[in-house]
Structure 1
Amino acid sequence: MNDEFPFAPRRQRPLSLLNPFDYLLLLYRVFYFPQALRWYVERFGTSPAEAPIREVLRQDKGQRGLVAQALVLLGLLALAAWLLLPELGLAVNLTKMALGVVGVRLDADLLCLVPAWLQRSKEFAIRLQRVSPLPVPGLETSLTERLRSDWLAGLRVCEGLLCYTLQFMPVVGAIRANLEAIEGARLLPRIAAWCDLGLNDWRALRYQSASLRSGLATAFREGFWVVPRRWRPQIDDTLRHDTPAEAACAGFWSLHAGEVELAEQAFAHVQHLPFGSEMHGNAAALSTAQRCDSFAEIGEWCPPEHPVGDRLRPAVAAVLNHLGEIARDCRLVRDSRSIRERSAALNRASGTLKALQATAAVSGGLPATGTSRGRPDPRPLARSGARRRQ
């Protein structure tokens, strides 16, 4: 839950089925603040995101109440339309109704134009334009200045915009401008601090390396189903490594996506920067670990060696060292002639692996090289150990 981010709803209690003003609030959020519905579920719901709908409705009082209130609201609106429109001599025209709904992503844009040009009223303009992807005038410039003066505070504003508005393009542009201007010594720590916020939309990181314009064109092309796929133009929206900022963001994005080989290639371009060799070594070690398909290959795996000193991801280094201990025990199981020594080594490896899995269960995932929410995959070690015991 990201209540610390700006532009979040301020409500401290759930909606009430008996309060008519809550129905008006729900109607307002559906049209002008749909992101608040996700916030409401996170704030007042109790079911995990992957829970089946039937269990959610049975066990989650908050979400069950929201569904009930939405159904009541739809019934009231349908009843009002059925009773009032014929009395007023109006017929229901679905085409005009659809155009009216679209006129809501447009009237918000028009309403925010004047306050957007006034620096003191820019926050008010953003709140008016939550449902529109069209950039608020001057927003990218103000975000760029905010990030330059205070990186973490500016990132919180950016994350608030990504969570509770559709102002994606100004956020990506402002962060890109700052990363390209940062001196090399601070580049990787700043990107790591950004990832540690727990990004609401990881595409903002991806489009620090890939072309945003190409990405938007690709999305439009994929949604334009009238034209056959083979006739659509090919657009390049791949990750780029032309600048240190692009390469570093490509590396962190690839780690988040689980593409550790691509992360290794990306971090190879920033090895000369502080913490660059650490990130490249971590990605290379994970890439090698994923290619271990046999017990013998696991025994030959080694954790990366880093010089003593400050590290960008010390928790990751600790996990990789534990995996190195497991690999050493696997070598003993493979090479030792003593049955007792082989049994002891296998028990140690199994115990260490279970401890890592328990840490992952408690913390929501073992720390990864790019972000604290991911985790290296120890399953090849478990599978090979199980085959060895059999």
Structure 2
Amino acid sequence: MGKAGGFDMPIPENILREHVLKAIEDIDRNGTPKNRRFRVWFLVYNGNRYPVKYVVELANKYVNGELLPSSEFTSHEAARYLEKLGFVVEYREKHISDGKNHKPARISKYSPLGEYLSKIAKDTVVLRFRDIERIIGKELPPAARTYKAWWANDKKHPQAVHGWLKAGWRIRHVDLRDEIVWFEKIQKNRIFPENKRFPPDEFDEKMYRVFEKFATLIEERLKAIAEGRSELEEIYQESEDTVRYMMFHSLTTVGGVDPTDVYLEYPHPQVPNKKYAKLDTFVAPKENRPALAFEMKFQKKIGNNAMPKPDNAGAVFADILKLALFRKEQGNIKRYFVYVADEHMVSYLSNPARGYEPFISLKENTGFKVTREYLIRKPVTFVRQLKRITEKEDFPEPTVICRFRRDLKLGNKEIAIRIYEVVP
């Protein structure tokens, strides 16, 4: 038997969840021996009940080659061990000859959620609060609807331990307003960007003032539309060229850039696909500043038309890769991706299940490395957008740093402004 701190363990610790599942399959095929049928502790799986001691006896055969003698452990020990592996265990109340009614040991009311999650093959799942309440058969406590901390992946919280952690899941994000929870499997090899801080230098501080002016102009322009003071009736009628023009104005006023140093649709020979081999804006270097390269996007839902969100997300990262390829060996250059998006696109990117949330949620002066593995796990239409720039999946791996962010509320519309520095 396994050892722990010098004491014999009644149940070998090398019995894993996979061995228990094999034992369940064995019972489904061959049934339960008569002398094992009448017990008070049961493992509940796929709507069926299995005697916990017999399950553990059988599971031992699939890892250690023989049935585990039932005399070496109790039903209670078997139940607790199976719970530790993320299974749901029930106690059937039993009247004993002493005339007393022995109540069942306490089993967490959140265990059915853990059992539900344990059956899911996908790496992520989204549940509404009402879905969780239906699974556990009870209402969630008021704290679950009030405090995000209630949903923390904390081993001191019974709801976390029995509801998802023991089942091999964690909570990625919770939305208290819409009552939605995003769960993800706990996997050591799962690829998620690691955010790091990139303190601004003196030039970054100067550019921040340029970006502030740019954001103010965008806000004034779109606010006029929302308030009926514009020649346009809807924000979606505003063009991406307006974004470029507002940045041009900010660079040449607050930034002190000579307009003759600004080049629009500048050639980008490092892009293999000639159709896309141009930068939106390039600013020639001067003694007091580096060269500046810009790609800009304004993504919004147009009327009642469907929004190709995966394609749009791919176009965002395609621009980032385009910047990463631009004169990547040149040191005296700053590359910026300017992104303006409405609430429809921001909502899509903010959904943790889609994997873009680390990008859109970056705080100022924080960033992460965009790895190939991070990119190729996205939808086919997303990757297709990248290949328009690179022609193959040998994508560059730049670091993106959020240098400016602002969120605007314009009537019933919401607009996000993000400016990222792209470092090859």
TM (norm. structure 1) is 0.22
Determine which structure has the larger helix proportion and give its number: 1
